[in-house]
Amino acid sequence: MDKNFKHYPITYGMILLCMAVYIVTTLLYGPEMDATQALNIGAFNGIAVDMYGEYWRLLTANFLHFGLVHIFVNCYSLYNVGLISEEIFGKRDYAIICLTSAISTNLIPLLMYMYNGFEASVVSAGISGVIFGIIGSLLALVYVRRDLSDIFKPLFINVAFMILISVIVPNISLSGHMSGLAGGFFSALLILKYRMKKKNQLLN
């Protein structure tokens, strides 16, 4: 698989954006950010979005990272799963999957907060929700095409990394990860169903 930039602009673009934002936050706050600093620069928090209407946080939070380990593991995982999904779905559909995952990562926790105050004190950031969304897109592919189940086997190490980070790194929302997974799965499922329907129409 040719892994140069022009073949995978979405994945490489997201990695470069995360790195650029991390450089900026390092210049502002040092290599590690606390929750207050992250909130000041665009991290997600249900209260900030609901009470102050700062809906831009639904997207900006995805590209912020709390520290070097956080961004390294996320970029490494994004590289490994992103190239596979971008190759399979193509640039346009992959971009739709990533955008849906990015929004759902924080939108579902926001709706849960608005309903019952869920995770009111949590300040979260990181592109791991999008990574889980990309994993969800591959799960959707396996769900539709059972004969392709082998493609998911090499990803287990990356999934284990993401779960580990969810446990040991503070201010990372496990609910956000699951929300990203759901967003990626269902958006990819709709894309795959549409492709199959279009293919059947051409054959008839």
Q: Domains, the chain, ranges and CATH?
A: 5-203 (1.20.1540.10)
Estimate the share of the chain in helix, then strand, then coil, as percent rounded to the nearest 5: 80, 0, 20
Catalytic residues: 128, 177
* Rounded alpha-carbon distances, angstroms, from residue 131 to 6, 114, 115, 136, 159: 20, 25, 26, 8, 9
pLDDT, tens digit only, all 204 positions of the chain: 567 888 999 999 999 999 999 999 999 999 999 999 999 999 999 999 999 999 999 999 999 999 998 899 899 989 989 999 999 999 999 999 999 999 999 999 999 999 898 788 889 999 999 999 999 999 899 888 877 777 666 666 666 666 676 666 655 677 888 899 999 999 999 999 988 887 776 665
Q: How far apart are CA 21 and CA 63, in angstroms?
A: 7
Per-residue buried b or exposed e for 69-83, using 16+ beta carbons within 10 Å of the residue's own CB: ebbebbbebbbbbbb
pTM, entire model: 0.90
